[in-house]
Amino acid sequence: MTVTDFAGLPDTSRLYIFGTSRPLSPDETSRFLAAADEFLAAWQAHKADVVAAREWRYGRFLLVAADEEVTALSGCSIDSLVHRIKQFEGEMAMRFLDGGAVFFRRGDDIVRIGRSDFIKLVEKGEVGKGTMVFDNTITTLGALRAGGWELPFERSWHAGLAPTPSTLSTQG
């Protein structure tokens, strides 16, 4: 496989975002990223090398992109990525795969919380229209580059979890 950098991949590249349940220590980060690089270097789909890249952002998010114009990902190749992430969870005693988690900024901190608890914060006014949230459901590198990953609550799918943005406070 060819491991590249994000800048070398087209906007159409498939994107996967994995957020950690807690910040990693510098040693954990080094070990984790080395293992991620090892996986990506060997990643294949139907015995063809996958051209992929990864970035580590904010000490909490692994972003993996694959150029499907070169090699289309298969269900098995995607499963192998998810399986490796599950292995990381066990090795590092943390969660990466949690569809119910919401990530948002509180000051300089990134908070990970369950959806029901997030809704309670919205209802209390502790999360407002301008609170920056992370949309880990975006699926292309182009969406990431266009600002679709970290955006204000009022412009995100998260706003559909609670009262409409027009009823929320402007703080956040």
The distance from CA 150 to its chain's CA centroid, rounded to whole angstroms, is 10
pLDDT in tens, 107-122: 999 999 999 999 999 9
All residues at 6 or more sequence positions from 133 whose CB lies less than 8 Å from its CB, including other chains? 102, 103, 104, 105, 150, 151, 152, 153, 156, 158
Residue 58 burial class via C-beta count within 10 angstroms: exposed 0-12, middle 13-18, buried 19 and up: middle
Kindly state the average pLDDT of the residues 119-146: 94
pLDDT at 172: 54
Q: Within a 10 A sphere around the Cβ of 6, how many other Cβ atoms? A: 15
pLDDT in tens, 51-74: 999 999 999 999 999 999 999 999
Kindly state the average pLDDT of the residues 94-109: 87
User: In residues, how long is the chain?
Assistant: 172
pLDDT at 58: 94
- How confident is residue 76, by pLDDT bands cut at 50, 70 and 90? very high
- CA contacts within 13 A on the Cβ side of 117: 9
- Cα–Cα distance measured from residue 154 to residue 9, given in angstroms and rounded to the nearest whole number: 30
pLDDT at 38: 93
